[in-house]
Amino acid sequence: MTRVNLVLLAVLVACALSLVTSRHQARKLTTELTRAQALARAYEEDFGRLTLEQSTWATPARVDKLAREQKMQSPPSPRVVVVELPEAQR
């Protein structure tokens, strides 16, 4: 009888200890999760900022202005435009 009790006591102690460890683990993981979520949000914000930057640099108005200023390109005259018709319309 005493033996059984001792075994049960040992099991109880083990359970209690594992509860403590898992609580601790849970807290550590939560902290990590929160940090990861904050990071995700930061990346999302970065993404927004970069998209904004990209679309600001790439506005047709700006591209048009630069192309004209640097005399690199101008709208093609109809004479130099080559149109490839889809198979059906040839």
Partner 1 sequence: MRAATAARGATAQLAPPGARAGVVFGALILLFAGLAARALYLQWVNNEFLQGQGQARYSRDIEVPAHRGRILDRHGEALAISTPVKSLWAFPDRLEISPRELRELARVLETNPAALERRIAAAEDFVYIAKLVPPEVAERALALRIKGLHEETTYGRYYPAGEVAAHIIGFTGTRDAGQEGIELAQQAWLGGHAGSRRVIINRRGDVVEDVASIRAPQAGRDLALSIDSRLQHLAFRELKAAVEAHRAKAGGLVVLDVGTGEILALANYPTFNPNRRDGRLAPERMRNRALTDVFEPGSTMKPFTVAAALEAGSVRPDTMIATAGGSLTLSGRTIRDAHASGNLTVEQVVQKSSNVGTAKIALGLPAERMWRTLSDAGFGAAPRTGYPGEVSGRLRAAQSWKPIEQATISYGHGISANLVQLARAYTIFATDGELKPATLFKATGAVAGRPVIKPETARTLRRMLELAAQPGGTAPKAQVGGYRVAGKTGTAHKLEGRAYANKYVSSFVGFAPVSNPRIVVAVMIDEPSAGQYYGGAVAAPVFSNVTGGALRLLGVPSDAPSDSAILPADAVEIGEET
Rounded CA separation 70/49 (Å): 28
Residue 89 interacting with partner 1 (CB under 8 A):
yes
- Helix boundaries (H) for the chain: 2-57, 60-69
Applying CB under 8 A, among 2, 4, 76, 87 the residue interacting with partner 1 is: 76
Residue 68 interacting with partner 1 (CB under 8 A):
no
61 Cβ neighbours under 8 A, 6+ residues apart: none
Residue 7 CB, nearest approach to partner 1 (Å): 33
In the chain, the amino acid numbered 90 is: R
Tell me, by CB under 8 A, how many residues bind partner 1: 30
Binding site for partner 1 (CB under 8 A): 26-27, 30-31, 33-34, 41, 44-45, 48-49, 51-52, 55-56, 58-61, 64, 75-79, 81, 83, 85-86, 89
